[in-house]
Amino acid sequence: MTDESLRGDAATVVAAVRSGDTARFALLTERYRRELQVHCYRMLANYEDAQDLTQETFLRAWHKRESFRGHAALRTWLYRIATNACLDFLEKRDDRTPVPSELPDSEVPHLQPYPDRMLPEDPQESVVARETIELAFVVAVQHLPPRQRAVFILRDVLGWPASNAADALELTVASVTSALQRARVTMRAQLPDRRLDWRGTATRELSSDERDVVRSYIDAHERNDLDGLMGLLRDDLRFAMLPDPGTVTRTAKDAVDGWVSGGLFGPGHDDWRGVATTVNRMPAAVLYLRTPDDPRHRLFAVAVLHVVDGKIARLTGFDAADKPWLDLPPTL
């Protein structure tokens, strides 16, 4: 059976899902894998967990295939399963306590970057609008309690009607409305300069400012230019190097003082190469370091930059070693 024939009327789709034919089931469901993984990532803020939970979604869907009646679209049915799989996971995760709204990135130690190559291929798809995959947004969502988080994502990111969200989460419409109102208050506090209507937002390309700042950031490393690096930072820079909880700073001075005490551009940390890239649809620099006893520059970190008015307002660094899903060369 061809892919086109499986896109037929509702009865045909229901019959295909419930047929017990694994090939037909996979043909119907696999097209949603990437967008479901983005959904799980927003819920969990961790790429590896999102991969696992997306696979768990398909396993649950297979085992529950007899429950698919076609009353909702297949995509909606899968999102419902994915959302509840993430909620079950969050109940078991060690860091069950919601992140206090005043704490920075380092208090979300499981945060991981999302490789752009794994986003859905359609750049206009609302589920991958740039504003809703950026790190600041993903971190802000983590400040919501899990069920409130699910309501917010289903309603304000995916644009589901309140009745559909209530059905997916086994809540009343009044409960969903109340949870959404509370979630919006928290999101306004976390992202005060952002509008709160992300539905249907088109993905935009990097600005010339962003591209210039990434190049300058890499150049400062390659020239061991601490003053040049400082000149790229806003005074109110927020910096974190994850998963190390001890690196967070709230000012450029604190960040630079920490880099100096950590030996940046000193012996053993003075032979850098960098490559510009994007992750989470944000400008980023992949940094490679060559130590004195090594003939090669080896993958060190990915620095994800939030650029405002030509300067870095937020810098989130991630250890890039042993993360094959980032698909980065281990050496230069």
187-199 pLDDT, tens digit per residue, is: 999 888 776 665 5
How far apart CA 94 and CA 255 sit, in angstroms, is: 29
CATH number at residue 54: 1.10.1740.10
Do 153 and 247 reside in the same domain of the chain? no
Do 215 and 291 reside in the same domain of the chain? yes
Do 79 and 134 reside in the same domain of the chain? no
Do 17 and 76 reside in the same domain of the chain? yes
The reply to whether 111 falls in a domain is no
Do 223 and 322 reside in the same domain of the chain? yes
The reply to whether 110 falls in a domain is no
CATH number at residue 159: 1.10.10.10
The reply to whether 112 falls in a domain is no
Rg of the chain over CA atoms, in angstroms? 22
The reply to whether 137 falls in a domain is yes
Do 237 and 320 reside in the same domain of the chain? yes
Do 164 and 131 reside in the same domain of the chain? yes
Q: How many domains does the chain have?
A: 3
The reply to whether 68 falls in a domain is yes
What would the pLDDT profile of 301-324 be if each residue is shown by its tens digit? 999 999 999 999 999 999 998 899
CA atoms in the 13 A half-sphere facing the CB of 85: 25
Do 292 and 198 reside in the same domain of the chain? no
Supply the DSSP symbol for 327: -
How far apart CA 154 and CA 161 sit, in angstroms, is: 8
Count the Cβ atoms, other than its own, within 10 Å of residue 251.
15
CB contact set of 52 (below 8 Å; sequence gap of 6+): none
CATH number at residue 224: 3.10.450.50
Environment class of residue 107 by beta-carbon count within 10 Å: exposed (0-12), middle (13-18) or buried (19+)? middle
The reply to whether 13 falls in a domain is yes
The reply to whether 107 falls in a domain is no
Distances (CA, A) of 123 to 120, 201, 203, 223, 248: 7, 10, 6, 36, 33
Phi/psi of residue 287, nearest 5 degrees: -105, 135
Do 310 and 214 reside in the same domain of the chain? yes
Do 159 and 230 reside in the same domain of the chain? no
Maximum C-alpha span of the chain: 68
Do 189 and 235 reside in the same domain of the chain? no
- Of 152, 187, 204, which residue constitutes the final position of a domain? 204
The reported pLDDT for the residue numbered 102 is 46
The reported pLDDT for the residue numbered 204 is 65
Find the domain containing 316 and state its range.
Answer: 208-326
How far apart CA 190 and CA 173 sit, in angstroms, is: 26
Do 232 and 289 reside in the same domain of the chain? yes
114: left (phi over 0), alpha (psi -120 to 50) or beta: beta
How far apart CA 65 and CA 28 sit, in angstroms, is: 12
Distances (CA, A) of 324 to 24, 52, 90: 30, 15, 25
- Of 173, 204, 235, which residue constitutes the final position of a domain? 204
CA 35: distance to chain centroid? Answer: 12
Per-residue model confidence as pLDDT tens for the chain (332 residues):
444 444 456 677 788 787 888 888 888 899 999 999 999 999 999 999 999 999 999 999 998 888 888 777 899 999 999 999 999 999 988 555 445 444 455 468 889 999 999 988 765 554 567 788 999 999 999 999 999 999 999 999 999 999 999 999 999 999 999 999 999 999 999 888 776 665 545 556 789 999 999 999 999 999 999 999 999 999 999 998 888 766 778 889 998 888 888 889 999 999 999 999 999 999 999 999 999 999 999 999 999 999 999 999 999 999 998 899 999 999 98
CB contact set of 149 (below 8 Å; sequence gap of 6+): 43, 141, 142, 183
Q: Which residue has the tokens 């750049």?
A: 123
The reply to whether 106 falls in a domain is no
- Of 135, 169, 204, which residue constitutes the final position of a domain? 204
At 135 the three-state DSSP class reads: helix
